[in-house]
Amino acid sequence: MEKTAVTKRLQAVGAAREFGILLALVIVVIAATVANPNFLFSSDGWRDLLLTPSILVLVAIGQAIVLITRNVDLSVGSILGLSAYLTGRLFIDIPGIPILAVFVAAIVFGGLLGLINGALVAYAKVPAMVITLGTLYAYRGINVLWTGSDRVNASDLPKDFLALGTGQVLWIPILTLIAIVVLVVIGWIMKNTRSGREFYAIGSDPAAAELYGLRVTRRLLIAFVSSGALAGLAGVLYTARYGTVNSQAGAGWELDAVGAAVIGGVAITGGVGSVWGAAIGAVLLLTINRALPILGIPDFWQRAVVGVLIIGAIVLDRVLAVRQKRKLIAAREDD
Amino acid sequence: MTTATASTAASVRTYRDYDRPLWQRLLLTREMAIIGLLVIVAVVATLSVRGFGQPITLTYLILDVTPILLIALPMTLIMITGEIDLSVASVVGLSSVLIGVLTQAGAPFELAIVVALVAGAIAGAVNGFLVTVVGLPSLAVTIGTLALYRGLAVGLLGTTAVTDFPEFWTDLAKMKLGGSNVPAVLLLFLVLLVVFVVLLHFTPFGRGIYAIGLSKTAARFSGVHVERTKLVLFVLSGTIAALAGVYYTLRFGSARGDNATGLELQVIAAVVLGGVSVFGGRGAIHGVIAGVLLIGILASALRLANVTSDVINIITGVLLVASVVSNSFLAWLRTKRRAPGGTARAKASAAG
């Protein structure tokens, strides 16, 4: 009895959509490590493996929440850029400002930008794609206007803050720890709380959710605010990690974030997937980027590999869905 | 993207439209609003921005917006069916690189153009295959092929650029008609424009496109070949994006892997501004042309007035959001005015 429960558990893990993508990640890491042990076993290699994807992981988690509600947030790259520059400006304009205050300010700022997206989507009942395409331009424009030809340099930032970007606890970089904490908290909320489950309900069938009496408007606002706030947090970490911020920080990240979520099994049609998947997708996306040159493939081909991966992931999803449907029909006929 | 509520809203709107007199149906449309705005912006720009009315400015304006105009034609049809093609700018880059690689290898230039166009058609067919046969959402598919085609382009040429093209062809891209300032490339666009207007607005195929956008199931039951129609549209989109790539390469005399990066968002912004609904079923070519020209003229005039490109970006974004939000706002106002006491219908639509 005990044993069957365990095998069932194991089977469930194996069948989970996240498992396939995790397996792909492990294969990439092993292949790259075999080709060059430094990929994993040098201290730099290990650090890069964890550090590089941490920022994209945060943005991808936010994107996953929005995608699960059957919406999309194309403005995340612009929000990241704005809050990264805000981070730099706060340190320059208010000498001695506590680092924690900067974190809070950037997260709140990102959340407000997300609130604008959410309000426009929820109240005007306009497709999120159009609204966030508009705010992608608008926020980036404001960013360039604000930054001008100016840029934030590492020398403008306090040493303690920059240490966050490179520091580590034991063998794990601090930025990675932040990403993991956020991932665990949001992953738990999405799976176990009523509000988390409602995101899925809304994405599966918006009309039914509305008829059932779910507070769709409020949930949509929360989804966009979360996405914005996470992009804001990612902006702070971006500044800590790279030290330099110009007006183009985060440009094009919206497609990486959507790509990471899609690779990780979050369906663009809503209601399906998890923030875990999106996070693993983000790690895979950036790990491939580093693994390709080591495997002897010029990194010019990176985007092509990513494209094949995205298409492969959605085709796989489709195949699994069709098979499941067939199984359900068969089960019904058996009765 | 609340598909269910949107499609009922769309059908209610269409139904109500036919209660109105003909002049209202023709003049009080989204398209006319954008055309009106376009005329106002053009007049204000000509009067207030020094140098905007000059022939040379208009020449550059046409040369600049041509790729967007070209790609917007098939994009309009695809979006009316409720799908989207985000890979177009990557196809522009890919066709540009193919021309570069073949020219470098010493192939005849005519052959290079043919190969680029065929590659575009294949790229479109791959999108169409994944959307129609495999049954995947086009937004996800074309995000994937956006990366894939761009990756092929960058992979083939790396960061190098090919700049050595036959003068005959590069001159052709910038050639002007007779003694005028009108670029010859405008003719190419006009020919395609006629083809697409006839295709969308005057053929059963075009009516099928609207039908698919309003309801796929209903369209199928009325004998529309839903899958075949979408496949044809994606192939058309890929081919025309490749054509735009040929033009882009010749105009700037440079084949690079990162050519036209991000152009897809500009095209989609213009198409949506022109009144095409991303839910499908709604839109017209004349509105889209006005949308492209509106963004183009604004950018050109503001640049001449020494306004930086960032402000142009902000204006583009706000315009896009305002144009879609204004529709909901007007609809909300209408329900309020029609039922001051708050009838059941107004309450229902306010709650919906």
Contact A130 B309 (CB under 8 A): no
Average pLDDT over residues B37-63: 87
Out of A71, A126, A210, closest to residue B324 by CB: A126
**The CA-based dihedral angle spanning residues A58, A60, A63, A65, taken in that order and rounded to the nearest 10 degrees:** -70
- For chain A, what is the domain count? 1
- Look at residue B27 in the predicted model and tell me its pLDDT: 65
Domain region containing A138: 2-334
Kindly identify which residue of chain B lies nearest to residue A210, measuring between CA atoms. Answer: B352
In whole angstroms, what is the distance from residue A94 CA to residue A146 CA?
17
Cα of B152 to nearest chain A Cα, Å: 6
Q: What is the pLDDT of residues A214-226, one digit of tens each?
A: 888 999 999 999 9
Residue B2, pLDDT above cutoff 70 = no
Contact B329 A300 (CB under 8 A): no
What count of residues does chain B have? 352
- Look at residue B346 in the predicted model and tell me its pLDDT: 44
The ipTM assigned to this model is: 0.83
Cα of A268 to nearest chain B Cα, Å: 7
Identify the band that residue B349 occupies on the pLDDT scale cut at 50, 70 and 90.
Answer: very low
Q: b/e string for A119-155 if b means 16 or more Cβ within 10 A?
A: bbbbebbbbbbbbbbbbbbbbbbbbbeebeeeebeee
B93 token code pair: 């880059």
Helices (H), chain A: 2-15, 17-35, 38-41, 43-68, 76-93, 99-124, 128-147, 159-166, 174-192, 194-204, 206-212, 216-242, 253-263, 275-294, 302-334
Identify the band that residue A184 occupies on the pLDDT scale cut at 50, 70 and 90.
Answer: very high
Identify the band that residue B242 occupies on the pLDDT scale cut at 50, 70 and 90.
Answer: very high
Contact B145 A307 (CB under 8 A): yes
Cα of A316 to nearest chain B Cα, Å: 11
Candidate from A284-293, A303-312, B5-14 with smallest mean pLDDT:
B5-14
Give me the residue spans of the domains in chain B: 3-338
CB B273 within 8 A of CB B118: no
Q: What is the pLDDT of residues B83-141, one digit of tens each?
A: 999 999 999 999 999 999 999 888 888 999 999 999 999 999 999 999 999 989 998 89
Contact B321 A135 (CB under 8 A): yes
DSSP character for A97? Answer: -
Q: b/e string for B163-193 if b means 16 or more Cβ within 10 A?
A: eebeeebbeebeeeeeeeeebebbebbeebb
Of the candidates A80, A241, A99, the one whose C-alpha atom is nearest the C-alpha of residue A173 is A241
CATH class of B3-338: mainly alpha
Q: What is the pLDDT of residues A153-165, one digit of tens each?
A: 888 888 888 888 8
Of the candidates A184, A164, A183, A182, the one whose C-alpha atom is nearest the C-alpha of residue A174 is A164
Out of A131, A145, A255, closest to residue B310 by CB: A145
- Look at residue A276 in the predicted model and tell me its pLDDT: 92
B323 token code pair: 């144009």
Of the candidates B319, B327, B326, the one whose C-alpha atom is nearest the C-alpha of residue B40 is B319
Chain B residue numbers touching A262 (CB-CB < 8 A): 140, 143-144
Interface test with B, best of A74, A126, A306, A308 (most B CBs within 10 A): A126
- Look at residue A13 in the predicted model and tell me its pLDDT: 57
- Look at residue A292 in the predicted model and tell me its pLDDT: 85
Greatest mean pLDDT among B9-18, B44-53, B184-193 lies in B184-193
Identify the band that residue A3 occupies on the pLDDT scale cut at 50, 70 and 90.
Answer: low
What percentage of residues in chain A have a pLDDT greater than 70?
A: 95
Beta bridge partners of A221: none
Residue of B12 and B85 predicted with greater confidence: B85
pTM for the model stands at 0.86
Can you say whether the dihedral through the CA atoms of A154, A157, A161, A163 is positive or negative?
positive
Q: What is the pLDDT of residues A96-136, one digit of tens each?
A: 889 899 999 999 999 999 999 999 998 888 889 889 988 99
Out of A71, A120, A140, closest to residue B325 by CB: A120
Contact A304 B152 (CB under 8 A): yes
Out of A130, A140, A302, closest to residue B320 by CB: A130
Chain B residue numbers touching A205 (CB-CB < 8 A): 4
